[in-house]
Amino acid sequence: MTEPTSTRFVKMHGAGNDYVYVDCFRERAPADPAKLAPRIADRHRGVGGDGLILVLPSTRAAARMRMFNADGSEAEMCGNGVRCVAHLVVAHGHAPAGSVTIETGRGVLTVDVRRAGPRLSQVRVDMGEPILDAVRIPVAGAGNGRVVDALSPAIGSEEPWWNATGLDPRMTCVSMGNPHVAYYCRDVAAVPLETVGPRVERHPSFPQRVNVHFVQVRSPNRVVMRTWERGSGITQACGTGAAAVCVAGVLTGRTGRRIVAEVPGGELELEWAADGHVFLTGPAEEVFEGAWRDG
């Protein structure tokens, strides 16, 4: 009888957005990561997390990232995830600290890693230019232009919670390699995200589903946001979502090009620079290491 094998992993988080990471420079890559992700991400019967991220060798960069949501679906990008991948690559000696390149579903991103401790780094990511064309995000029925403060079929008719939150039911849509929709309101804490989030995520307006964000503007350079992530549900932070919110704030005239996003897991710094690229800065922290028995 063949003895079961095990795979070592590292649990990490970026502003509370936590994933299980497998260093595939050292470990064999899981045969079916889409099947493994829901099991390992289960917070009651698994390790627990928002999903599974594989750190793989790359011919184009220092490492390649593959990300699987808690439901097993594969996503193109994760801003908090790529920061943690860059930390792991440096911490495990696969690349020196400083400027590191990571291959993602969005392309090769340049990440600046500054070690803050044995298990912690402060990481700045060049997220690239936002995608604003509705067809490319994609948003169905929106034509070829931008979707900025547009009517939102996904929100539906007025509901009682609108008044409690001061919701502006118009939507602004941005892709950072994965699709996002932002709604603005007076009180994000009062949004019934657990019911509204999944409804918007899977609305026909979004053919590839969508990450859903509700945003409260504190000042031109500070916002509070809550997120329903496509495939994972309510999360403590969403890096690509914070980048999309930075862009949305500029497009709608609500915020400036540099903001701090307060998320349930901490704070993220964003800048939509003059060259069109969005930069995301925040922590990447190891929580613990372990081994997952295969089979």
Fold of the domain spanning 160-276: Diaminopimelate Epimerase; Chain A, domain 1 (3.10.310)
Type of residue at 60: R
Domain ranges of the chain: 6-127+282-293, 160-276
Query: Of residues 78, 173, 185, 246, which has the active-site annotation?
Result: 78
Per-residue pLDDT, 156: 77
173 is catalytic: no
CA dihedral 41, 47, 49, 53 (to 10 degrees): -70
Question: The whole model's pTM is what?
Answer: 0.92
Do β-strands 63-69 and 98-104 pair in parallel, antiparallel, or remain unpaired?
A: parallel
The token pair that represents 187 in the structure block: 């009180």
C-beta separation of 274 from 255 below 8 A: no
Please give the class, per CATH, of domain 6-127+282-293: alpha beta
238 is catalytic: yes
The token pair that represents 192 in the structure block: 């019934």
C-alpha–C-alpha distance, residues 115 and 101, integer Å:
16
pLDDT in tens, the chain (295 residues): 455 678 899 999 999 999 999 999 999 999 999 999 999 999 999 999 999 999 999 999 999 999 999 999 999 999 999 999 999 999 999 999 999 999 999 999 999 999 999 999 999 999 999 999 999 999 998 878 999 999 999 997 788 899 999 999 999 999 999 999 999 999 999 999 999 999 999 999 999 999 999 999 999 999 999 999 999 999 999 999 999 999 999 999 999 999 999 999 999 999 999 999 999 999 999 999 999 987 6
3-state secondary structure the chain: CCCCCEEEEEEEEECCEEEEEEECCCCCCCCCHHHHHHHHHCCCCCCCCCEEEEEECCCCCCEEEEEEECCCCEECCCHHHHHHHHHHHHHCCCCCCEEEEEEECCEEEEEEEEEEECCEEEEEEECCCCECCCCCCCCCCCCCCCCCCECCCCCCCCCHHHHHHCCEEEEEEEECCCEEEEEECCCHHHCCHHHHHHHHHCCCCCCCCCEEEEEEEEECCEEEEEEEECCCEEECCCHHHHHHHHHHHHHCCCCCCEEEEEECCEEEEEEECCCCCEEEEEEEEEEEEEEEECC
Query: Of residues 84, 173, 185, 238, which has the active-site annotation?
Result: 238
Give the CA distances from residue 70 to residues 2, 15, 25, 158, 181, in Å, rounded to whole numbers and listed in that order: 29, 18, 23, 31, 20
Are both 6-127+282-293 and 160-276 of the same fold? yes
C-alpha–C-alpha distance, residues 177 and 135, integer Å:
13
Per-residue pLDDT, 143: 79
